Amino acid sequence: MLDSITAQRLKQALSASISKHEIAGASLMLIKDGNEVFYHEDGYADVEAGRRMSRDAAFRLYSMTKPVTAAAVMLLLERGEIDLFDPVSRYLPGFKNQQVEKNGELVPVTREIVLHDLLNMTSGLVYGGTDKAGEHTEALFRELDSRLHGDNPMSTLEFANKLGEGPLSFDPGTSWQYGTSADVLGAVVEVVSGMSYGEFLQQEIFGPLQMKDTGFWMPEDQRHRLAKVYQDDGEGGLKPYAESHLGVDHQMNQAPAFESGGAGLVSTIEDAARFTTMLMNQGSLNGVQVLRPRTVQYMTSARLTAWQQQGFNPWHSLQGYSYGNQMRVMTDPGQAGGLGGQGEYGWDGWLGAYFANCPQEGLTILFMIQKKDAGTMPVTRKLRNIIFSSL
Residue type present at position 256 = P
pLDDT tens profile 289-310: 999 999 999 999 999 999 999 9
DSSP string, 325-358: TTEEEES-GGGSSS---TT-EEEE-TT--EEEEE
Q: Is the pLDDT of residue 244 over 90?
A: yes
Q: Is the separation of the CB atoms in 153 and 255 below 8 Å?
A: no
Q: Cα separation of 333 and 267, whole Å?
A: 30
Name the region of 287 (left: φ>0; alpha: ψ -120 to 50; beta: rest): left
pLDDT, residue 229, reads 98
- Residue 280 neighbours by CB distance under 10 Å: 22
Give the predicted TM-score (pTM) of the model. Answer: 0.98
Q: How far apart are CA 71 and CA 44, in angstroms?
A: 32
pLDDT band at 313 (very low <50, low <70, confident <90, very high): confident
β-pair partners for 239: 231
For residue 120, the model assigns a pLDDT of: 98
Residues 100 and 168 sit within 8 Å (Cβ to Cβ): yes
Q: Are 360 and 342 in contact (CB under 8 A)?
A: yes
Instruction: Write down how long the chain is.
Output: 391
Read off the pLDDT of residues 315-367 as tens digits, 9 standing for 90 and up.
889 999 999 999 999 999 999 999 999 999 999 999 999 999 999 999 999 99
For residue 1, name the pLDDT band (cuts at 50, 70, 90): confident
List the beta bridge partners of residue 156: none
Q: Would you give the DSSP letter of residue 131?
A: S
Domain ranges of the chain: 4-58+226-241+266-389
Q: Is the pLDDT of residue 314 over 90?
A: no
Question: Is residue 287's pLDDT more than 90?
Answer: yes
53-111 pLDDT, tens digit each: 999 999 999 999 999 999 999 999 999 999 999 999 999 999 999 999 999 999 999 99
Spell out the CATH class of 4-58+226-241+266-389: alpha beta
The pLDDT tens digits for 139-187 are 999 999 999 999 999 999 999 999 999 999 999 999 999 999 999 999 9
Average pLDDT taken over every residue of the chain: 97
Burial of 6 (0-12, 13-18, 19+ CB in 10 A): middle
